[in-house]
Amino acid sequence: MCETESVLAQHRDKLLAMLVESAAALMTPQSAATFRPQAKRIITELKKADLAIASVQAPPGQFLSCARPIDAVVKCLADAGHPMREEEIIGALIDAGFHANDPGTGWKTSKSIMIHLRGTAKNKHIIKKVGELIGLHEWDDSFFNA
């Protein structure tokens, strides 16, 4: 674990402790009114810490230049050099640190990638699906049978 990741993990642990302390303080009626906004602030900070940790753990810059999921899909397929199944592409992108729209929210990223993989009309000239495999549009169909 690198020093940055360690510092971020310690910060995350402190935030969790603060959340637990806030919840424990609910035993008094006066604290109930202040708990909700305080908990919301702490949870927001936890999400930021999780995003920072994920960014540190991701391979450096692999999908940094990819603003759209389809760009990341194309780069992933080109790097792999062979067609892949939908689950493999989504897993590879998330493991490599690609985040769609709302960083740190895995299900939104997965859904965003899936929408592009399932081929809206505007993506038909970029990727294609042959059977269960997805590849680059310029790849010959015989390449999908190998």
- Whether this model's pTM surpasses 0.75: no
Please give the residue range of the domain that contains residue 101: 69-144
Under the banding of pLDDT at 50, 70 and 90, the label for residue 104 is very low
Please count the helices (runs of H) and the strands (runs of E) in the chain: 5, 3
Q: Is residue 81 packed enough to be buried (19+ CB in 10 Å), middle (13-18) or exposed (0-12)?
A: exposed
Tell me which of 47 and 116 has the higher pLDDT. Answer: 47
Q: Is residue 64 part of a domain?
A: no
Do 32 and 77 fall into the same domain? no
Tell me which of 100 and 98 has the higher pLDDT. Answer: 98
Q: Is residue 63 part of a domain?
A: no
- What is the chain's length? 146
Do 92 and 139 fall into the same domain? yes
Do 53 and 87 fall into the same domain? no
Do 79 and 120 fall into the same domain? yes
pLDDT tens sequence across 20-78: 887 777 766 666 677 778 888 888 888 877 766 766 665 555 665 566 778 888 888 98
Q: Is residue 109 part of a domain?
A: yes
Indicate the number of domains in the chain: 2
CB 133 within 8 A of CB 144: yes
Tell me which of 97 and 86 has the higher pLDDT. Answer: 86
Do 35 and 81 fall into the same domain? no
Q: What distance in Å separates the CA atoms of residue 36 and residue 18, rounded to the nearest whole number?
A: 13
Do 53 and 73 fall into the same domain? no
